[in-house]
Chains A and B, each alone.
Chain A
């Protein structure tokens, strides 16, 4: 229970399942069921979003701790409880999840024509899992939601995906599962060591230095796959290319953030010494990701694949920021996560718009859309610019802060990291030029229609968010400043005490 005595987070987490029950109870012919499922899913997700806005309004920005905490006995004999709560780091991701879900449902309004009810059910279950994952304050509850995400996502890719959907779905599932089971062992080890699975207790606990490296590796196996970091990113292009538009949107917008969120929630605060020791490895992998996947993106002929590789590069910037463990770096990483959640989601929606019309994702298939689709060209341009970090858009603030943080650590780190921004501009502009500019060469493009009212409704909130985050970032960063400061202080205090201990101990 929170101060108001109202289990808001539980409501936001579990309400989508009520929508699922409603959908399952509908009888009738396929058309009725489909229409009903669409509207039920949309209204459910809108109500959930409206409820989650209470978090935005009522959240106390000055408080660096957990708020809206509620807990209930679950397995009392073992100290495992059902505990939810948000702090500055997680609250915006809860909002991101609840905001993107209705947009995804709206975006798949017409593009999903088969098994509509199952699609909407999977999507609402996915929403429950995502929100629960970000709100969980107990390690076991966290793990349940973290892995539970696999089930609806596996079905979304596998049932409504493209030609190689089966391969992509199984690859996605096994890659992620292999990582997470090692994390499970790490969580069990921490549980045994500390005697509690309550994350508030775990965050304050001191874990022996000897264990930290192993635990870090186990967590890394899980989160690095999820982020994804080079070289375990190969599931991502496959999953993105084959997934339906809404699946790609939620994958890029929220699911990739789960890995970075895991680093921030577990690795950095709980394992400070290992974090400090392993940071060079993470920097190396991240820089490789930024430079290499940007170059790979330049060579793509498939729009979705290009954006998928750009996601890997952008998430590389995020991991650099997290492991600088200074205020600028972590704030930048969080901001980059949010902006990437909005911008890459929007870019996948942009691909979805033309894919719905022409049924091709080949870049060479398009050209000259600016003439026929001015509204679309505007939206696509804004998001492309945001993706390459143009000042005034969401993408700039995060990358800038991360690079500032990286400069404090190492010049070359920042230098190579900024190379990613240049390459990012190159591939995004290249993509934009080939799709939007030039002259129309294909006949079916002459009759292509501009954004419909429904599509405008999908893009409008994303356009507003992109500009809002770029022009007035502190209305977002204000949420996590206190929490980030506390985390950085905690980290340095832990490192200092370990070094002091090492000096005191006889050699």
Chain B
């Protein structure tokens, strides 16, 4: 039993408890301090992740490989940026409570557990740790009706999804005789053993995970929860958990169920196509920017699923790469949304951005960069994400999927450039309050990443390639 493989998770969980105790025992307002400590703990965990030994631990329940390294670093980055964007928002929205960063921290522990899981039970425990923390976060503004509604809705639907997932797990266990990924894969290597019951279990598991990544037809909660939850929570939900759940889906489909490619491929293709279509068309009519981002993330998940549908190492490389660009674009956009505040009150209408290029040119330019990037216009990061995804689809001869993908991206481009139109072409509305430093930092950092990425993409692509190869040895 090699417990050092899980050292980053253990350290992060213990620091979470430490911060909690510190917050409870301290009489004064410790929100800012606890947030900074959380960021520190997340960074420390990142360093430990890089240093952690490669290999399986805990009798095969848990593993460290290039894939978990890549996704953990991404999750931790997203979580740290999520904590940073909440610093200022919570001050203004009267959510100054030290539990807030701690809940994000524990959600991150759950996510790290998920991406390292090599056993259905570890995976499930990780997912639940993440989900429970986020249910609370979504309802964190408890005096506000919308937030409570969002939390409740997310909890009820999320519990249903967990039930589906667990039911799928039990079916898979019953028909394959094991919870261990390697043993399941071994059991399925003989095609005769892949019974119908097992495929039903697989479908249930995909349904449960599709809920977590908000893929159609399990997306219904997304717009309401995104809109209702406090904006930093939305920013967090739209990035880190998506990465972790997608990573679980990738590992699950590629390693234990790799032999059932023919069965799950059609499922993923279908989910990808309807997600892209819904993401593209439903977003057009939105007037609230958080709802728009909800549909945008549904569409983005649809694109990422193309890579999984390809069922190759290149496809998984594309997904991982796509997630990197997606995380930075999304967190940057939400940081801009948090900065949309007039006289201390947050506004969320797209129309409120009118003439931003006159009142706050710097923020307008960065938001335009994120929008162009999401629309997949080169030279921004989002283009490369789509580029590698479509490469994988083309290699596998999935032409129809690729053509639907590029055409929906044109439809999607319409609502992204509409935001740019509002900011740059329309007459200025009243200016927003001055941007706080923490928000400017996140916007500039993710903006620079998105813009300058094309100069030197090789290391990220190489890391994604190494991570993807692990799943297809």
Is there contact, CB below 8 Å, between B421 and A158? yes
Could you say which of B357, B372, B377, B418 contacts A170, with CB atoms under 8 Å apart?
B418
Interface: A148 (CB within 8 A): yes
Is there contact, CB below 8 Å, between B414 and A166? no
Is there contact, CB below 8 Å, between A188 and B394? yes
A173 surroundings in chain B (CB, below 8 A) = 413, 417
Is there contact, CB below 8 Å, between A192 and B379? no
Could you say which of B361, B407, B410, B417 contacts A154, with CB atoms under 8 Å apart?
B417
B391 surroundings in chain A (CB, below 8 A) = 188, 191-192
Is there contact, CB below 8 Å, between A159 and B378? no
Main secondary structure, interface of A, reads helix
Residues in A424-438 with C-beta less than 8 Å from chain B: none
Is there contact, CB below 8 Å, between B458 and A74? yes
Given contacts A75-B458, A155-B424, A158-B425, contact A178 B410 (CB under 8 A): yes
Is there contact, CB below 8 Å, between A77 and B458? yes
Is there contact, CB below 8 Å, between B454 and A77? no
Interface: A200 (CB within 8 A): no
B465 surroundings in chain A (CB, below 8 A) = 77
A78 to B461, CA, bound (A): 10
Closest to A214 in B: B399
Could you say which of B387, B395, B399, B425 contacts A166, with CB atoms under 8 Å apart?
B425
Closest to B361 in A: A118
The distance from the CB of A116 to the nearest CB of chain B, in whole angstroms, is 13
Is there contact, CB below 8 Å, between B454 and A181? no
Given contacts A159-B425, A173-B413, contact A148 B379 (CB under 8 A): yes
A154 to B361, CA, bound (A): 17
A147 to B406, CA, bound (A): 14
The distance from the CB of A246 to the nearest CB of chain B, in whole angstroms, is 17
B379 surroundings in chain A (CB, below 8 A) = 144, 148
A73 to B459, CA, bound (A): 12
B424 surroundings in chain A (CB, below 8 A) = 155, 158-159
B409 surroundings in chain A (CB, below 8 A) = 181
Contact pattern, A 216-258, Cβ under 8 Å of B = 1, otherwise 0:
0000000000000000000000000000000000000000000
Could you say which of B372, B399, B425 contacts A165, with CB atoms under 8 Å apart?
B425
Interface residues on A, range: 35 or more
Closest to A73 in B: B458
Q: Report the count of interface residues on B (CB-CB < 8 A).
A: 35
A150 surroundings in chain B (CB, below 8 A) = 377
A143 to B384, CA, bound (A): 12
Among B357, B409, B420: residue with most chain A CB under 10 A: B420
Interface: A185 (CB within 8 A): yes
Interface: B155 (CB within 8 A): no
A188 to B394, CA, bound (A): 7
Is there contact, CB below 8 Å, between B390 and A170? no
B462 surroundings in chain A (CB, below 8 A) = 77
Interface: B402 (CB within 8 A): yes
The distance from the CB of A298 to the nearest CB of chain B, in whole angstroms, is 33
Could you say which of A75, A140, A181, A191 contacts B461, with CB atoms under 8 Å apart?
A75
Is there contact, CB below 8 Å, between A147 and B377? yes
Could you say which of B390, B399, B421, B461 contacts A184, with CB atoms under 8 Å apart?
B390
Is there contact, CB below 8 Å, between B390 and A75? no
Interface: A54 (CB within 8 A): no
Closest to B422 in A: A166
Interface: B217 (CB within 8 A): no
A132 to B326, CA, bound (A): 27
A478 to B166, CA, bound (A): 74
The distance from the CB of A159 to the nearest CB of chain B, in whole angstroms, is 6
Residues in B428-473 with C-beta less than 8 Å from chain A: 454, 457-458, 461-462, 465
The distance from the CB of A131 to the nearest CB of chain B, in whole angstroms, is 15
Given contacts A148-B379, A151-B372, contact A177 B410 (CB under 8 A): yes
Interface: A11 (CB within 8 A): no
Closest to B418 in A: A170
The distance from the CB of B402 to the nearest CB of chain A, in whole angstroms, is 6
A150 to B379, CA, bound (A): 11
A118 surroundings in chain B (CB, below 8 A) = 357, 361
Interface: B47 (CB within 8 A): no
Given contacts A77-B461, A158-B425, A181-B409, contact A192 B377 (CB under 8 A): no
Could you say which of A115, A174, A188 contacts B413, with CB atoms under 8 Å apart?
A174
A182 to B377, CA, bound (A): 14
Is there contact, CB below 8 Å, between B406 and A181? yes
Contact pattern, A 173-210, Cβ under 8 Å of B = 1, otherwise 0:
11001100110110011011000000000000000000
Is there contact, CB below 8 Å, between B407 and A181? yes
Is there contact, CB below 8 Å, between A144 and B414? no
A181 to B390, CA, bound (A): 10
B395 surroundings in chain A (CB, below 8 A) = 192
Interface: B295 (CB within 8 A): no
A437 to B465, CA, bound (A): 69
Interface: A28 (CB within 8 A): no
B387 surroundings in chain A (CB, below 8 A) = 140, 184, 188
Could you say which of A78, A148, A169, A174 contacts B425, with CB atoms under 8 Å apart?
A169
Interface: B403 (CB within 8 A): yes
Closest to A158 in B: B425
Given contacts A144-B379, A144-B383, A144-B454, contact A188 B410 (CB under 8 A): no
Interface: A506 (CB within 8 A): no
Closest to A150 in B: B377
Residues in B129-188 with C-beta less than 8 Å from chain A: none
Residues in A134-158 with C-beta less than 8 Å from chain B: 140, 143-145, 147-148, 150-151, 154-155, 158
The distance from the CB of A14 to the nearest CB of chain B, in whole angstroms, is 11
Closest to B409 in A: A181
A170 surroundings in chain B (CB, below 8 A) = 414, 417-418, 421
Interface: A76 (CB within 8 A): yes
B357 surroundings in chain A (CB, below 8 A) = 115, 118, 159
Given contacts A77-B462, A185-B403, A188-B391, contact A151 B377 (CB under 8 A): yes
A115 to B462, CA, bound (A): 42
A144 to B454, CA, bound (A): 10
The distance from the CB of B282 to the nearest CB of chain A, in whole angstroms, is 18
Is there contact, CB below 8 Å, between A182 and B425? no
B390 surroundings in chain A (CB, below 8 A) = 184-185, 188
A188 surroundings in chain B (CB, below 8 A) = 387, 390-391, 394, 402
B372 surroundings in chain A (CB, below 8 A) = 151
B376 surroundings in chain A (CB, below 8 A) = 181
A140 to B388, CA, bound (A): 12
Closest to B378 in A: A144
Among B387, B409, B461: residue with most chain A CB under 10 A: B387
Residues in B362-381 with C-beta less than 8 Å from chain A: 372, 375-379
Given contacts A144-B378, A173-B413, A192-B395, contact A182 B454 (CB under 8 A): no
Given contacts A77-B461, A77-B462, A158-B421, contact A181 B410 (CB under 8 A): yes
Given contacts A154-B417, A184-B406, contact A148 B458 (CB under 8 A): no
B417 surroundings in chain A (CB, below 8 A) = 154, 170, 173-174
Closest to A132 in B: B379
Closest to B462 in A: A77
With A74-B457, A77-B458 already in contact, 12 other A-B pairs whose C-beta atoms are closer than 8 Å: A73-B458, A74-B458, A77-B462, A118-B361, A140-B387, A151-B372, A154-B417, A158-B421, A169-B425, A174-B417, A188-B390, A191-B391
What are 21 residue pairs bridging A and B, where the CB atoms are less than 8 Å apart in the complex? A74-B457, A75-B457, A75-B458, A77-B458, A118-B361, A143-B378, A144-B378, A144-B379, A148-B378, A148-B379, A151-B372, A158-B424, A158-B425, A165-B425, A170-B421, A173-B413, A178-B407, A178-B410, A185-B406, A188-B391, A192-B395
Chain B residues close to A by CB (< 8 Å): 357, 361, 372, 375-379, 383, 387, 390-391, 394-395, 399, 402-403, 406-407, 409-410, 413-414, 417-418, 420-421, 424-425, 454, 457-458, 461-462, 465
Q: Which 7 A-B pairs have the closest CB atoms?
A: A181-B406, A144-B378, A188-B394, A158-B425, A178-B410, A144-B379, A147-B378
Chain A residues close to B by CB (< 8 Å): 73-78, 115, 118, 140, 143-145, 147-148, 150-151, 154-155, 158-159, 165-166, 169-170, 173-174, 177-178, 181-182, 184-185, 188-189, 191-192
